[in-house]
Amino acid sequence: MSSWDEMLKGKTAVVTGASRGLGRADALALAEAGADVVITDILIESDEHNEQEAERFGPIAQVMQSTNVMYADKTAQEIRDMGRRSFAAKMDVTDREQVQDVFAKVKEEFGRIDILVNNAGTLDHVSQIENQNDDFWQRDLNVNLTGSYNCTKAVWPYMKEQGYGRIINMSSVAGTLGGFGQASYSVTKGGLLSFTKSMALEGGKHGINVNAIVPGIIGTEAFKMGNAKMNQRMIDRTVFKQPGEPEDIANAITFLVSDKAKYITGIGLNVSGGIELFTF
Ligand SMILES: NC(=O)c1ccc[n+]([C@@H]2O[C@H](COP(=O)([O-])OP(=O)(O)OC[C@H]3O[C@@H](n4cnc5c(N)ncnc54)[C@H](O)[C@@H]3O)[C@@H](O)[C@H]2O)c1
């Protein structure tokens, strides 16, 4: 059994949507635990098409692009500075061809792919059914659900060949509890929990463990951009009366993808500060 230090030494991880927020924190934590990590996202500092891409991906992407909140290349550099291998790649999880190409490149450069964190997601609108924008409905399904499917499908043959893999899907309490004005988002996050269980069943015989993280509210740049009053109401529902930190998610993921969690598969792990607990 490996020690807690460097427990991911020799492993290669790919994190989607990792240029900021939870994805970036996950990537840094995996690297700290010894893994080589590939940072992927639609917005990458060195990409000259960022403006058009941001427009395509909605309001949050546009704000992040215009305020330069994208740290994909920077995160890869930070990981290299830790002595691990890393690069940043532009990868839209809805683009099957681009996804296949990036995973093929990772395999070619690093020789194996042990860990996939399906983190890319959209959390940029709240609207009740009458006002639900049809394009956003479809986009949420495409990015959150089909995007995770695309990446899982691309990495599966490599993991199967190795007889080893760890996949994490980023769900949400909106997926377990539903969300007022969040039909499109919550349906994708609920779907990811079923996807996790099905893939865990299929992965067992290939040494592939598949689990989900169920975050409550975590103080990322994207969360902080939300409506302040609405955010405070959610914070008040947690046991700790404060949002979680990105590291709370990253630590849970680091454990779940390590061999310390080798007998855990098919679960949705709440990292939610108890937001779902019933109280008077
Ligand atoms: N922050 C929270 O409170 C919270 C709570 C529950 C679940 N989550 C989930 O955690 C994940 C990260 O959330 P966050 O708070 O860091 O949000 P975020 O918006 O900062 O991060 C999402 C990342 O996904 C990327 N992305 C969007 N569309 C993409 C696409 N088509 N292809 C590739 N990348 C794409 C974005 O560019 C961004 O970097 C999301 O899946 C979100 O649903 C977050």
- The residue whose CA is least distant from atom 29 of ligand 1 is 120
Does residue 50 lie within any of the structural domains?
yes
Does residue 127 lie within any of the structural domains?
yes
Distance CA 260, CA 2 (A): 8
Distance CA 63, CA 33 (A): 32
- Domain range holding 92? 12-271
Active site residue 185: yes
Q: pLDDT under 50 in the chain at which residues?
A: none
Q: What pLDDT is stored for residue 2 in this prediction?
A: 66
The alpha carbon of 274 and the centre of ligand 1 are apart by a number of angstroms equal to 21
In the chain the first and final C-alpha atoms are separated, in Å, by: 44
Does residue 1 lie within any of the structural domains?
no
The SS3 call for residue 137 is: helix
**CA 149, 22, 214, 253 torsion: positive or negative?**
positive
Does residue 2 lie within any of the structural domains?
no
Q: Which residue has the tokens 């993921």?
A: 253
Q: What pLDDT is stored for residue 5 in this prediction?
A: 85
As for ligand 1, residues whose beta carbon falls within 6 Å of it are: 16-17, 19-23, 41-43, 57, 60-61, 92-94, 119-123, 143, 147, 170, 172, 215, 217-218, 220-223
H or E segment to which residue 183 belongs: helix 183-203
The alpha carbon of 3 and the centre of ligand 1 are apart by a number of angstroms equal to 31
How many angstroms separate the Cα of 131 from the Cα of each of 13, 54, 123? 39, 23, 16
User: How many structural domains is the chain composed of?
Assistant: 1
In this structure, what token pair is assigned to residue 268? Answer: 């949705």
The alpha carbon of 118 and the centre of ligand 1 are apart by a number of angstroms equal to 10
CATH number at residue 64: 3.40.50.720
Q: What pLDDT is stored for residue 1 in this prediction?
A: 54
- Least Cα distance to 124 among 221, 24, 42 occurs for 221
Mutate to test the pocket of ligand 1, among 220, 235, 247 (most ligand atoms within 8 A of CB): 220
H or E segment to which residue 208 belongs: strand 208-215
**Minimum-distance ligand 1 atom for the alpha carbon of 215:** 6
Does residue 91 lie within any of the structural domains?
yes
Does residue 4 lie within any of the structural domains?
no
Question: Please, where are the H alpha helices in 6-70?
Answer: 21-32, 50-57, 59-66
Q: What pLDDT is stored for residue 279 in this prediction?
A: 83
pLDDT tens digits for range 213-251: 999 999 999 999 999 999 999 999 999 999 999 999 999
**Minimum-distance ligand 1 atom for the alpha carbon of 142:** 31
pLDDT tens digits for range 93-110: 999 999 999 999 999 999
Does residue 144 lie within any of the structural domains?
yes
**Average pLDDT across the chain, whole number:** 96
H or E segment to which residue 37 belongs: strand 36-41
Does residue 5 lie within any of the structural domains?
no
- The residue whose CA is least distant from atom 23 of ligand 1 is 17
Mutate to test the pocket of ligand 1, among 28, 39, 40, 42 (most ligand atoms within 8 A of CB): 42
- Least Cα distance to 99 among 166, 38, 53, 25 occurs for 38
